[in-house]
Structure 1
Amino acid sequence: MADIAATLRRPFPEQIAAFRARLGDLVPTARWDDIRRSAHDRAFMVAGATKADLLADLAAAVDRSISEGLGIETFRAEFRRIVDARGWHGWTGEGPRAGEAWRTRVIYRTNMRTSYAAGRMAQLREAGFPLWVYRHGGSLEPRLEHLGWDGLVLPVDHPFWATHAPPNGWGCSCYILGARNLAHARRLGGRMFEAPEGWEKISPRTGAPVGIDKGWDYAPGATVTDTILALRKKLDELPPRPSIDLIQSWLVSDVFKTWFAAPRGLSPLVRLPEEAAARIGAQRRVADLSAESALKQARAHPELTPADYALAQLTVDDPTHTVQDSPLSLVFIRDADDGHLLVVKATRSGQGLFVTSFRRMSARAVERQRLIDRLLRRE
């Protein structure tokens, strides 16, 4: 569970965008089921919270927990402060310490897990995986049905996912992985390739398919995928540190690895310091890697891996040298600890900002290049 909690506290752009898609509609409610199923994709609520200022404060506290990767104890302290300041009484769990711990845990984990799932769904759909793999989250008290779905591999358009995309209940930590083909799915733990018989059977007790808690028979984020992807593109509007953290989380994700193998469109790569962007007259701060540049780089430097690209931000943040290559371009150079040189070239083009070159050069290669440069200068 500690590993799962650590993962959920590691924010990424789509997860933050998924939660912020809800903030335009703060809904006063008396009961937890006043809002049902996919309506949660576009609305924020806390059962029993009916005042606008209280809801706004709670929403802001959850947003900070998600976007800054804060732990549950920090959220609990914020919750206590808000409840006291707003004079909220009569909420379920109020009074005993155990009750407060339970209520804050439900609010924290539910929002963390549903926003995480919604963000991941946006990533999976953008990456174009044809198959999805259901994986059990490894909870200490597993639901038998969820264990039974572990390793299930189905096409992304199978109706199973419309109701069974996790989380599938309170405390559920199941998740989905994307696969390019059946062999890839097997490597990810896939072992069943047909939906189990009776998967769509409805429980008369919950009104949801058997094995899914009441109100959880929907796919978090499915109705707002386009909104999530659009909000992710607003990295430029965030303060530097959250923006950089989000870009880094994207670069170390499996979805970036898939993008890197077959790039299309743009991928955010680094955020320039204010003074660096000003030197080349850039209005933007986040520099993208285009599919064209990624393919060109792959041909010229096949040794580069997605993990190498995650070092680009360090080069920009703490360069050994910075050279203004032209009025529109800056080159950042960093002497790495392993004897390599890291080189990032950022170029302004119109209203855009792009990384047009990234190199990881060995010391030997650097010496060869210096020798060639000296010879050329003599000519």
Structure 2
Amino acid sequence: MQPVPFLEAMQYAQLKKIVLPDEFYSLDLRTRHYASTVSFLTSLEQINTVMHAINKSIVDGSTFQDFKDLVADKGIDLPESYLDNVFRTNIQSAYAHGRWQQQQRNKVAKPYLMYSAIDDSRVRPSHLAMNRIVRHIDDPFWLIWYPPNGFRCRCTVIALTEKQALKYCITSDEDLPDIAVDLGWSTSPASFGDLSSLVDQKIADSLLDKTFLLEQKQLIQAEWTASDKLKSLLAPMNDQSRNLFETITKKVIPLDPNIRPSAIKVLIDYVMGNDAALTAYLSKEPISMAEQVLRRWLVADMTQIQAVAKNTADVVTGSVSLSYVASLQVGQTITLDFPLMLAASNTDVVIKVENAVGLGIDLEQLNAGQGVLFEIGISFEVVSVEMVSGKLVYMLKVIANL
């Protein structure tokens, strides 16, 4: 990828503040537009080196190989798959912001935009479905779908004159594809900053269905609220948790570069016993849209980590607090509303889970200690409760994985 450099892209990239991963993922989604991080690194100096290499690539129009060589020359060892993700996502975001600004300035001459996806084996089906959609530059469609629309997204937008737009055919409301918005993604230049008043005006002026547009606005607002809530629920990082963060990251990122650092931070809170606030929040029935969004994020995050560190033991044994098991009775069925951490300890209350192979996150595979973290949605039946060698043992059997 060697795009023609332009000033707006360079300015956007160079003005972003360099922060540590846990700081970045504690920012609300609007503020993240102004920040950069590299989740595989825990040193500001190293992160700054990588981001400087990216900015140099933007200025020079250099290739991924040039970027990779520059990072390696600085003594920073990162998996190639993850470097590729960092490089392409940051380059695409910077150029998208620059392109958006240029198109806005030139919209009198070219008032229409056309979505352009790359039709090959790597393109996401949802992105391909939007290929050649033509809408007015002020249409609310671009508030939601101006690319990039995810990590490594290669889609772009082409500005058209009215004559060109008519030639390609302006996409009608009826012909717009029904595609779910990825609420975990928030770098669209059309949503840069707090655009609530602009969105309200565009909704009022649009010929599109107002109900649909209001729903999309509410979803975006819910994501911002969920991001702020997650920040308040997670414990502050210290030297011990930073070390564990680095250990787990080095293990999972090469296996799945798309795992979000916030997912690792949630896992760390459970491993280190900092889960009280998060568990209490998840135990409540979701009421608001933001609560539903946050729960959906956590389910998806734990599922991704579980996929690369799946428990292989059929029987898992560990200790839990007495308050958690006090109400359990034989024959009762329970479904996890929050992750359940089972690890060895010296307490007198033990849970033994049968039929557990393939479920839960094996911490040993992540170099994060001993134990298994069972994810939200798994259902158990309480098979027995009895005293064994002076310990109160609750025998559970997995009956469903929702």
Give TM-score scaled by structure 2 length. Answer: 0.43
